[in-house]
Structure 1
């Protein structure tokens, strides 16, 4: 199932909903009375469609937000595909039949479905007095889902989440992968809903996978869709977060310090060993973080953005989306800082006094970021966002972190479970940061080793490790952004799908989620495909057995060197052996035979052969 109810927002049951072909049960917990117990228990199930004929209409207020109206069109489309019936979208209930009310309204409030019980992205599903209510908090904007940028639509659309939940849980719809090839749409002669009220909130409010631009660059993306909108829709259907806790990274070069201050204030820039300042290097400009003027300029820039001034007022060509979004400003060193770290006397003295690691500059950089945050404290709701990432990975020793600093900690994440020493170190670091930030911490994790030779052809699949990781880290974080920058959608799609469900609720059974994925996606061929993936997960873990400290850079920089050749030799002689390849071929052949008569399932299996097996 996509999610299970949590105690933060649960309401009483009038039914047990059997989810995913009996794999698990969703229990509705008593929270308050609707009318009276006798009235509630007297309510009956409601049939929305029978034999291709509709018995209900979709009701949306005339002035409903664009997000709510879009939810209505999605519900109308998929209900029609499932039942063969045509569902009318109306602004007022019909005189006959049931109504499916979408979005918040006075009618919803009358039934006690108040929005204050919902976290961002949460929703209600309620069947009361013969009518169905699908309700969430929706942004009042008159525009919805712009697709001309790499970040997805980030305004609240809880009603749309309620619609997708309804279609999955009540109708059996699935969106396993992008495009029509990934849609599972059962045909139902009768669609009947049991009475009851359910309120659902995500455990993690921060839930992201890569960014849209990565997906659109996959080598095999045309096998799924050529539509940017369809790719966006698929990610939305995975309940992509609307949380804007932390955005941006490696941002300081977007502040154009080199252009603005390279000549007038060379002291702003990192002093190099040769006596030069790191101004407009091939990697950008690098700053001297102990120089007071640097923080002052950041403060001026941040205040100008937050107060609605044009970028030209600060000598900038634009307000870069990587730095300036809504009520936040990202202040984060350029990548590769360690190669351009400041060697001035002040930075060196701070580093010598507090530096826990010769390559870490946390005690040099964090005080400046804190100073910038202090400089905007008077602007309500404004905050500084940044990463805990080299060169400032560790918690600072010399400063107190203000509440208007939002931090995303960068660690390996789920793959580190295969390297126990690394996992213990990362959990300890995570707990230190969580304590410092009072639990208001998000993660940036890396599951992207397979984008580098010689592992590019491997399938980096780890659903069970992902499940363990988010169960272990649940008490300490608000969520995560998972970087899976592989080269193909085919070899990533299962892990995307499972991870997004675990980010909604990490307490779900990953085995039940996998069973559902294979059963819904591969039908009669579910068993051999599931066996293939289970073996691939085991083999990926074996890679870490050979190389317990394996990181992406270890593979990347080993290419062309002796150790790189040795690793490639191990890949084929010890992991993806001829015997393993023969077994892969056997499973795929068996799956194709079992799926005869099911063109869509055969097409999915063909993708595994074409984009995974054949390149091996």
Structure 2
């Protein structure tokens, strides 16, 4: 199975023989089997379409949430493309044929498909008594369709996840890359579904990718889509998280401390070695975190936001989305704090007391953040979000972390597997944070050195390292936000696709996922394209660890900054050699020949040549031209 579920709420007797885990799940199954009008064994498969004729209709309650209604239009669209049949969307079941019920309703509840069994983004697929149920938790308060947004859609839409899973598992549909070029839509003369109940929940509720196409314009994104909304839709089809566990980063300058307090309270700001305060520097204002007034101002700001007051009530020009979202407030030092760190007597004394060196200020900053969290504890559901990132990467000493602090730990992530010493350090740090946060911890990981010239033309691909990393970290975290800062969608698309599936369930076989990607995406050309990617993955490991003795040995300096990564001369003379590029060209030429008669597959292969091979060869040729001159 392509999208392997991690948990089943009931047994699918034919297609999905999932192993049930946990007594509560078995009790649920037994209760359903006893209460049902007929057992699964007495039921028969149901045909939804045959020879272009529909044998079912889609049923959505008239007052269903917008996300449920959108799920109906997506199901209708792709079922029509797969079967050639027209599926009507109705508010009541038809007198003839089967019904495909979408979303939660009294009918669903009658069959025991209760929402309390579902994690955020989880769903049911059930065929009971001749009708199909695709059900998840959908936000009833939202009045807008997901694709009406020019931003990521973060309202709960579990039913839409059920629809996408159904289209992938039962119909063979794939969305391998953004836009129509990435759609794989098989043609089925007959679509028949087996009876049974399937419940699926993600292992990680926090699943995000950074630097995506039209959000931070990739050079080649227009080869895929010219619409940010289409990009958003593609991410939703990859089961983008609706979990808002931790948002925002480097936020304190958005609180406008320099504007509000620069003159009246200079003691709020970091004292520099020259005796000046870090007020309105070229990178913003930097704070003295040991000054009690700083935490007090943060508390006042947070309470004003959470209680619905206007920003002007606190002297702010706006409630910045980087700091203030829903029921959370992000309190996090500006980036590059180490260059402006406070040198006052109190901050210096704390540093000395806890034995911290000059590069880490965890013992100075974390107590202030905890104080802010204590100041909003009485507001139900409110919390402070922040990063464990330099200058406060390490777990704080002599501080009890309250439950209303949400932390995202910043580490290298999957690439560190290539550097075993660093990987051991990062796992140890992760485990320390997980213990402190009782497992309620998310990650921010970095796969981003290909944004730097000349590596920007390389392919930073590491699906197998990604799979190992999330299997290893599964017991300790609730998910991750992966920063991939390559400059092109073409060189990122496979890793986006595979990573999103592994964040849903890291126990899947990455080799099976890759086989499916290449077979579905490249058909008769799957073998040479798969060989190309496998070679590129091996070469990236070589690039990443080219100078082992220079690799960053300290977790503080590792994120995205590989001192051991290959420099330009070695990149072209020893890694991307003339022999390697000749082999790349051979694989792409062979793939184009094998894909003759399939314009869509040929278009995908052409993207690999245009946006990867050609820029790589041009950059290499430029290097040797410079050498000759």
Shorter-chain TM-score range:
over 0.9
Q: Secondary structure at the match of 1:565?
A: coil
Whether the 8 Å CA contact 2:248–2:386 is kept in 1: the answer is: yes
Q: What is the alpha-carbon distance in structure 2 between the residues aligned to residue 563 and residue 537 of structure 1? A: 19
Q: Secondary structure at the match of 1:16?
A: coil
Whether the 8 Å CA contact 2:447–2:485 is kept in 1: the answer is: yes
Whether the 8 Å CA contact 2:58–2:102 is kept in 1: the answer is: yes
Aligned-residue offset at 1:357: 2.9
Q: What is the alpha-carbon distance in structure 2 between the residues aligned to residue 559 and residue 390 of structure 1? A: 10
Shift of the 92–83 alpha-carbon distance from structure 1 to 2, 3 Å rule, reads same
Aligned-residue offset at 1:561: 16
Shift of the 8–41 alpha-carbon distance from structure 1 to 2, 3 Å rule, reads closer
Whether the 8 Å CA contact 1:355–1:361 is kept in 2: the answer is: no
Q: What is the alpha-carbon distance in structure 2 between the residues aligned to residue 329 and residue 22 of structure 1? A: 37
Whether the 8 Å CA contact 2:443–2:479 is kept in 1: the answer is: yes
Q: Secondary structure at the match of 1:519?
A: helix
Whether the 8 Å CA contact 2:412–2:445 is kept in 1: the answer is: yes
Whether the 8 Å CA contact 1:329–1:383 is kept in 2: the answer is: yes
Q: What is the alpha-carbon distance in structure 1 between the residues aligned to residue 36 and residue 196 of structure 2? A: 13
Aligned-residue offset at 1:39: 3.3
Aligned-residue offset at 1:416: 0.3
Aligned-residue offset at 1:33: 1.5
Q: What is the alpha-carbon distance in structure 2 between the residues aligned to residue 254 and residue 561 of structure 1? A: 27
Q: What is the alpha-carbon distance in structure 1 between the residues aligned to residue 139 and residue 602 of structure 2? A: 41
Shift of the 246–499 alpha-carbon distance from structure 1 to 2, 3 Å rule, reads same
Whether the 8 Å CA contact 2:121–2:242 is kept in 1: the answer is: yes
Whether the 8 Å CA contact 2:36–2:111 is kept in 1: the answer is: no
| Residues matched between the structures, number | 616
Whether the 8 Å CA contact 1:386–1:408 is kept in 2: the answer is: yes
Shift of the 514–564 alpha-carbon distance from structure 1 to 2, 3 Å rule, reads closer
Whether the 8 Å CA contact 1:17–1:26 is kept in 2: the answer is: no
Whether the 8 Å CA contact 1:410–1:444 is kept in 2: the answer is: yes
Q: What is the alpha-carbon distance in structure 2 between the residues aligned to residue 495 and residue 322 of structure 1? A: 27
| Residue in structure 2 matched with residue 474 of structure 1 by the alignment | 474
After TM superposition, the structure 1 stretch with the greater mean CA deviation from structure 2, 102-111 or 211-220, is 211-220
Residue deviations 1:472-520, cap 9 Å, x none?
Answer: 0000000000000110000000000000000000000000000000000
Aligned-residue offset at 1:141: 2.5
Shift of the 230–151 alpha-carbon distance from structure 1 to 2, 3 Å rule, reads closer
Aligned-residue offset at 1:228: 1.2
Q: Secondary structure at the match of 2:550?
A: coil
Residue deviations 1:240-268, cap 9 Å, x none?
Answer: 00000000000000000000000000000
Shift of the 213–572 alpha-carbon distance from structure 1 to 2, 3 Å rule, reads closer
Whether the 8 Å CA contact 1:418–1:548 is kept in 2: the answer is: no
Q: Secondary structure at the match of 2:406?
A: strand
Q: What is the alpha-carbon distance in structure 1 between the residues aligned to residue 580 and residue 29 of structure 2? A: 48
Q: Secondary structure at the match of 1:197?
A: strand
Q: What is the alpha-carbon distance in structure 2 between the residues aligned to residue 557 and residue 344 of structure 1? A: 25
Aligned-residue offset at 1:547: 3.1
Residue deviations 1:60-105, cap 9 Å, x none?
Answer: 0000000000000000000000000000000000000000000000
Aligned-residue offset at 1:431: 0.3
Whether the 8 Å CA contact 2:449–2:562 is kept in 1: the answer is: no
Aligned-residue offset at 1:567: 1.1
Q: What is the alpha-carbon distance in structure 1 between the residues aligned to residue 238 and residue 562 of structure 2? A: 42
Aligned-residue Cα RMSD (Å) equals: 3.8
Q: What is the alpha-carbon distance in structure 2 between the residues aligned to residue 248 and residue 609 of structure 1? A: 37
* Unaligned segments of structure 1, at least 5 residues: none
Residue deviations 1:277-329, cap 9 Å, x none?
Answer: 00000000000000000000000000000000000000000000000000000
Whether the 8 Å CA contact 1:544–1:550 is kept in 2: the answer is: no
Aligned-residue offset at 1:12: 5.5
Aligned-residue offset at 1:11: 4.5
Whether the 8 Å CA contact 1:448–1:552 is kept in 2: the answer is: no
Aligned-residue offset at 1:4: 2.7
After TM superposition, the structure 1 stretch with the greater mean CA deviation from structure 2, 352-361 or 81-90, is 352-361
Q: Secondary structure at the match of 1:515?
A: helix
Aligned-residue offset at 1:229: 1.1
Aligned-residue offset at 1:605: 0.2
Whether the 8 Å CA contact 1:13–1:28 is kept in 2: the answer is: no
Q: What is the alpha-carbon distance in structure 1 between the residues aligned to residue 559 and residue 384 of structure 2? A: 38
Q: What is the alpha-carbon distance in structure 1 between the residues aligned to residue 107 and residue 410 of structure 2? A: 45
Aligned-residue offset at 1:471: 0.1
Residue deviations 1:525-574, cap 9 Å, x none?
Answer: 00000000000000001113313487899999999999999810000111
Aligned-residue offset at 1:147: 6.5
Whether the 8 Å CA contact 1:15–1:28 is kept in 2: the answer is: no
Q: What is the alpha-carbon distance in structure 2 between the residues aligned to residue 73 and residue 381 of structure 1? A: 34
Q: What is the alpha-carbon distance in structure 2 between the residues aligned to residue 568 and residue 341 of structure 1? A: 34
**How does the TM-score come out when normalised to structure 2?**
0.93
After TM superposition, the structure 1 stretch with the greater mean CA deviation from structure 2, 145-154 or 578-587, is 145-154
Whether the 8 Å CA contact 1:83–1:188 is kept in 2: the answer is: yes
Shift of the 2–246 alpha-carbon distance from structure 1 to 2, 3 Å rule, reads farther
* Unaligned segments of structure 2, at least 5 residues: 617-629
Aligned-residue offset at 1:355: 4.1
Shift of the 147–139 alpha-carbon distance from structure 1 to 2, 3 Å rule, reads same
Shift of the 69–567 alpha-carbon distance from structure 1 to 2, 3 Å rule, reads same
